[in-house]
Amino acid sequence: MNVGVQNFEPLQNVVFCFLDLETTGLHPQYGDRICEIGLLKTKNNKIIDSYSSLINPHMPVSPGASEINGITDKMLHNAPSFETVVERVLEFIEGTVIVAHNAPFDLNFLGVHLYNLRITFPKNPVIDTLILARAYYQFSSNTLTNIASYFGIDVSGVHRALGDTKITKEIFHIFLDDFRQKRKINTLYDLLELNGGSITFPTYGEIILPPEIEECLRAKKKLRIRYISARGNETIRTIKPVDIVPYQDYTYLISHCLLREKRRTFRLDRILEMIVVK
């Protein structure tokens, strides 16, 4: 745990940091990236600080994501990249307990970004309001907006990062008051017990890349590959590698495919041959 966060800290002394991300799509393992981050820091249900920023993902926002969050490629054109804001983000969350709705989603995206920058994952305890909602309530739906509407919470800022942190904060403190009254919780340890323990950041091992891919990523060169699909079909195509993403037991190469003129994801173990081309 970070310095200053102790298991048996009384809840009124705990600094909570509510986290929400907007992303270009749903799957970081297929190249989707963070396009907005929101952080809201509270102590004893009082807001003490906040931070939010659009993030340039250096890739288009998917139409589906843009329709939900209203973030367009034009809005992100002059936004800072993640590596520009990461130090500020890590400083902001230091010494806090992170709270998010569907925390694994946010942690997975953060994990990929931090891993690519070779930054050690933070050790903050993490509480998930989605887990709490499923375990201790019977809402008709456990989406953030549905739970907020149930409690009469204003959802006008929904689907933007800082707006969602404010909604999550309201829901969390309703839960907390309820748990204090009905379950007699008093400490962070008690709360973590209800949460089933802290949610952890995903674990990624060190990736050893073939020298051809290393060269293409470093020098922005193209790669001709012979690739076998999940159905067993072989194709030969020229790609421009963009990024490497580990996910579960596999490593994926995110590339611009010159054959399809679209971004494509290739599982590294399915690349049969590769040659660097100019």
Instruction: Indicate the range of 41-45, 86-90, 160-164, 274-278 predicted with least confidence.
Output: 274-278
Please give the structure tokens belonging to residue 83.
Answer: 């590596």
Closest CA to 125 of 104, 99, 107: 99
Could you give the CA distance from residue 27 to residue 78 in angstroms, rounded to a whole number?
24
- How far, rounded to the nearest angstrom, does the alpha carbon of residue 239 sit from its chain's CA centroid? 27
Please give the structure tokens belonging to residue 259.
Answer: 């054959």
pLDDT at 253 over 50: yes
Q: How many residues does the chain have?
A: 278
Chain segment 34-54, per-residue pLDDT in tens:
999 999 999 999 999 999 999
Could you give the CA distance from residue 17 to residue 218 in angstroms, rounded to a whole number?
36
Q: Is 187 exposed, middle or buried (0-12, 13-18, 19+ CB in 10 A)?
A: middle
Could you give the CA distance from residue 269 to residue 115 in angstroms, rounded to a whole number?
20
pLDDT (mean) for 141-161: 94
pLDDT at 257 over 80: yes
Which domains are present in the chain?
A: 11-194 (3.30.420.10), 211-277 (2.30.30)
Confidence of residue 206 (pLDDT cuts 50, 70, 90): low
Q: What is the mean pLDDT of the chain?
A: 91
What's the pLDDT at 167?
98
Q: Which residues are catalytic?
A: 159
- Contact at 8 Å (CB) between 129 and 123? no
Q: Can you say whether residue 95 is alpha, beta or left, with left for phi > 0 and alpha for psi between -120 and 50 degrees? A: left
Place of tokens 């907005």: 36
pLDDT at 1 over 50: no
